[in-house]
Amino acid sequence: MASILIKNIRAVDNITDKTTDVFINGGKIKKLGTDIAEAADKVIDGTGLVLMPALFDMHVHLRDPGFTHKEDVLTGCGAALAGGVTGVLAMPNTKPPCDNPETIRYIIDKAKGTGVDVYPVGCITGGMSGNGLCDYEALKAAGCICISDDGRPVENAENMRKALELSNENGLLVASHCEDLSIINGGIMNKGETSEKLGVKGMDRASEDYITAREMILASSVGARIHICHVSTEGSAAMIRFAKSRGVKVTCETAPHYFMLTDKLLEKRDADYRMNPPLRTPEDVRAIIEAIKDGTIDCIITDHAPHAAEEKADFEKAPNGVVGLETSLAATLTALYHTGEISLNRVVELMCINPRKILGLDIPAIKEGSTADLVIADINRKWTVEPEKLHSKSKNTVFKGMELTGKPLVTISKGEIRYNES
C-alpha cells in the first residue's frame, strides 16, 4: 500500500479545524504537523483545499440484484467514491428483496475491493409485503445492521411494533419510510398549488406526518430506537423535535433536495424532479434548514435512487427517485455552508460522523492512528452539474444544469486513493 503525504491542507472534522500536513501509511494517519519530511510514494499539495473524514450515506439504492440496468453495486460504489463517500447503507427493495441471508451476503461480497463499505439493509417483513417478520437474527449474522421496508411503510401498526421490539433485542436499527400509502393513493407530487395547476394527483403531507408520529409512538412504547427516513415536511420536523425533547430514541435524516428545492420545479413536467417523499413548499424548505441547525435532523443523506432515462421519460407514469451520491457534498456546501447557515464542522458531523454513530460503526477522525478514510475537497470551486458526466449508470439528477460551489477532488479509502478527479 502506497504512502501519501498531503501538504499544507485545512483539516476539518467535527472538532478540528486547522492547517497541517498529513502523512498516511499502512491505511492509517501516521502523523500530523507542519513541515512533515517523511518520504512518501504520493505527495499532494493541499494548499487552498479542505481535508475531511469521508462521507457515509445511510440511504442509497444500489438496485443490485434485480435492477442492474439502473445501477449495480460496482457502478454505485464508483458514484459514491466520486462524491467523497466511502460507506453506504443499501436499501432492501431489490429483486429478490434483502429478506434472506443469501442476498445480504451477495451484496457484501460484490462490494469487496471497491473501496466502499456497503452495508445491506434487511427487510422488516418477508418480501417487503408488510406481513410476516423476517428472521432478524439470521439477517444480523449475515452482516445486516439495519432493517427497513424502505419504499413503503409497514402498514399494520402491530407488525411494526413487534418488529421494533424484536430489533431492539437483536441490536438492529429500524429505519422507516414514513408515507401512508392509502393517503398518497396514486399521488405523484406534493399536494398543493402546483399539483392543482398541473392537474395531477398530489400526495398530502399528512401521509408523511401521520406515519412519522406513529413510528415514534410505537418505538416509545417498547423502548426501541427508530430512524425516520428522508424528512421533508415542517410537521414531521416539529414532531421529531418534540419527541426528542421527551426522550424518545428517535434519529432522522434529510436530503439536499429537501432543503434546496420546491415543488415549483414540477411545473417543467420533468419526472427527474419527482421523488418520494416529494419536493415541498418554501415553508417546508425553511423548516428543514432550521431542523438541521438546531440538531433535530441528525444526518444528510441522498436517497440515491437511479432510474433509466426511458423509465423517466413520461412525467406522470415515471417511477419516483433521483440520484445524489455525486452531488450531496456540493449541494450541502452550496445551500448550508456558503450561505452561513452551518459551519464546516457541522457539515462533517451531519455527513460523516452522525451516520456512523447511529449505526454503531467506527468513526473516522483527522488524528494520528485513525483509519485514513478521507476526502479532499475544493469547497470554493464552482461547477455545473452535467448528468452525462456522472459515474452512476442513471443520470436522473435533480441538480442538472445547476451551478454548485464545492467539489470532492480525491477520495481516500483505508489509506488508498480510490478516486482522483485529475
| Partners of residue 17 on adjacent β-strands | 12
**For helices 206-222 and 234-245, angle between their N-to-C axes, nearest 10 degrees:** 20
Q: What three-state secondary structure class fits 408?
A: strand
Is residue 50 a contact partner of residue 10, using CB atoms and an 8 Å limit? Answer: yes
* Residues catalogued as catalytic: 303
The helix (H) or strand (E) run that includes residue 38 is: none
**Is beta strand 189-190 parallel, antiparallel or unpaired with respect to 146-147?**
unpaired
**For helices 282-293 and 234-245, angle between their N-to-C axes, nearest 10 degrees:** 30
Q: Is the C-alpha dihedral spanning 408, 413, 418, 422 positive or negative? A: positive
268 CB-near residues (< 8 Å, 6+ apart): none
Q: What three-state secondary structure class fits 251?
A: strand
The phi and psi torsions of 79 (rounded to 5 degrees) equal: -65, -40
DSSP 353-365: IHHHHHHT-----
Is residue 303 a contact partner of residue 255, using CB atoms and an 8 Å limit? Answer: yes
As a whole number of angstroms, the distance between CA 124 and CA 131 comes to 9
As a whole number of angstroms, the distance between CA 159 and CA 180 comes to 15
As a whole number of angstroms, the distance between CA 388 and CA 320 comes to 20
Chain centroid offset of residue 375 CA: 16
As a whole number of angstroms, the distance between CA 416 and CA 402 comes to 31
| Partners of residue 404 on adjacent β-strands | 383
The helix (H) or strand (E) run that includes residue 281 is: none
